[in-house]
C-alpha cells in the first residue's frame, strides 16, 4: 500500500499511539519525550499519554507537544496496574488502528510503516513492529542518542547491545485494529504489576485465531533505572503470573471465549 506524505510526514492519521507512564525517574521522563519526538518527526498521527501517580506534579503535561492528548489519573497504589490502565487508554482512542507503545522503545520508521500497512491490508490482525531482537541500548549509547537524536547511531551500534530478554520477546509495542483488540478481550487485569501480561495476550490472540505477525528489524530499549514497576515486585506475584499464563495457554478457542466473557473490569 502506497505511503501518503503530508508535509514530508508519513500519513498515519488513522493510527493512535497509546503510551502509559509512571514517572519514577528522570530517565523515564527523558525517554518518554524523545520517543514522542521521534514519532512526531516522521508521522502525521495521534498520540495519547496516560500518566498515573499519587499526585499531579504537571511536569510531563507541561513538556508535551500540544498535539499530544494527555490524561492524568490519581493513583496511590505503589504498584502500577498496567493492564488496568491499558484498558482505560484504549477506550480513549477514536482511530481504527491503535498501537500500544511503551515509553522507552524505538524502531526504524520503516518498521512502523510496514506494521501499519499489514494492518490496513488485512494481512495481519496484530503486528509486533520488530523481529526476534529487543535490544537494550546501554547507558552510553542512550546518552549519545539523547544528545544527537540520530537513529542511525542506534543501528550502527546494535552489535554492542545486549538482548533485553533471552528469547522470543513479545513486549514493547504492537499494532492492531481497535475492534480486534476489543474483540480479543483487551487486557487481562488479573495480571497486576510488571511482567507476563504481553505474553498472555499473544497466546490468547493466537488461540482465538487472530493472525499475529512480526516485521523485520530490531526494537531498541532506551536504558533506564528499574524501580518496583520494572520488575516482579514479589516472588509470589511472579509465581502467580506464571501459573495463570500456563493455565490460559492450554485453553481451546471455546474455553478462551468463555474465560474472556467472565472478565470484570476493575
pLDDT tens readout for residues 84-133: 999 999 999 999 999 999 999 999 999 999 999 999 999 999 999 999 89
The parts of the chain modelled with pLDDT lower than 50 are 2
In this prediction, residue 227 carries a pLDDT of: 57
Indicate the pTM of the whole model.
0.93
Ranges of each domain in the chain? 8-261
d(Cα 72, Cα 57) in Å, to the nearest integer? 10
- Sign of the Cα torsion 28, 29, 34, 40 reads positive
Which pLDDT does position 2 carry in this prediction?
A: 45
Q: What is the pLDDT of residue 93?
A: 98
Distance CA 119, CA 44 (A): 17
Partners of 220 in beta bridges: 106, 135
Per the CB < 8 A criterion, the answer to whether 116 and 15 are in contact is: yes
* CATH T-level assignment (fold) for domain 8-261: Spore Coat Polysaccharide Biosynthesis Protein SpsA; Chain A (3.90.550)
Overall residue count recorded for the chain in this entry: 266
Return all residues near 265 (Cβ < 8 A) that are at least 6 apart: 84, 87, 189
Amino acid at each position: 500500500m502506497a505511503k501518503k506524505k503530508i508535509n514530508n510526514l508519513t500519513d498515519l492519521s488513522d493510527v493512535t499511539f497509546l503510551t502509559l507512564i509512571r514517572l519514577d525517574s528522570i530517565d523515564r521522563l527523558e525517554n518518554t519525550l524523545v520517543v514522542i519526538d521521534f514519532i512526531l518527526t516522521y508521522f502525521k498521527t495521534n498520540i495519547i499519554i496516560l500518566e498515573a501517580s499519587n499526585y499531579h506534579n504537571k511536569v510531563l503535561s507541561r513538556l508535551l507537544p500540544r498535539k499530544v492528548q494527555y490524561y492524568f489519573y490519581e493513583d496511590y497504589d505503589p504498584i502500577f496496574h498496567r493492564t488496568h490502565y491499558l484498558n482505560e487508554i484504549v477506550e480513549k482512542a477514536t482511530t481504527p488502528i491503535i498501537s500500544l507503545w511503551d515509553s522507552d522503545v524505538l524502531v526504524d520508521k520503516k518498521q512502523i510503516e510496514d506494521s501499519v500497512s499489514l494492518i490496513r491490508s488485512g494481512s495481519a490482525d496484530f503486528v509486533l513492529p520488530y523481529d526476534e531482537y529487543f535490544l537494550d541500548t546501554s547507558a552510553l549509547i542512550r546518552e549519545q542518542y539523547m544528545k544527537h537524536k540520530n537513529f542511525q547511531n542506534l543501528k550502527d551500534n546494535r552489535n554492542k547491545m545486549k538482548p533485553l530478554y533471552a528469547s522470543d520477546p513479545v513486549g514493547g509495542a504492537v499494532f492492531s485494529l481497535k475492534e480486534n483488540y476489543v474483540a480479543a478481550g483487551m487486557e487481562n487485569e488479573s495480571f497486576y504489576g510488571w511482567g507476563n501480561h504481553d505474553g498472555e495476550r499473544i497466546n490468547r490472540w493466537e488461540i482465538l485465531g487472530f493472525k499475529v505477525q512480526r516485521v523485520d528489524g530490531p526494537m531498541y530499549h532506551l536504558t533506564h533505572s528499574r524501580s518496583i514497576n520494572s520488575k516482579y515486585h514479589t516472588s509470589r506475584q511472579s509465581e502467580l503470573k506464571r501459573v495463570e499464563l500456563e493455565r490460559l495457554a492450554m485453553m481451546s478457542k471455546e474455553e478462551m471465549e468463555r474465560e474472556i466473557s467472565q472478565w470484570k473490569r476493575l
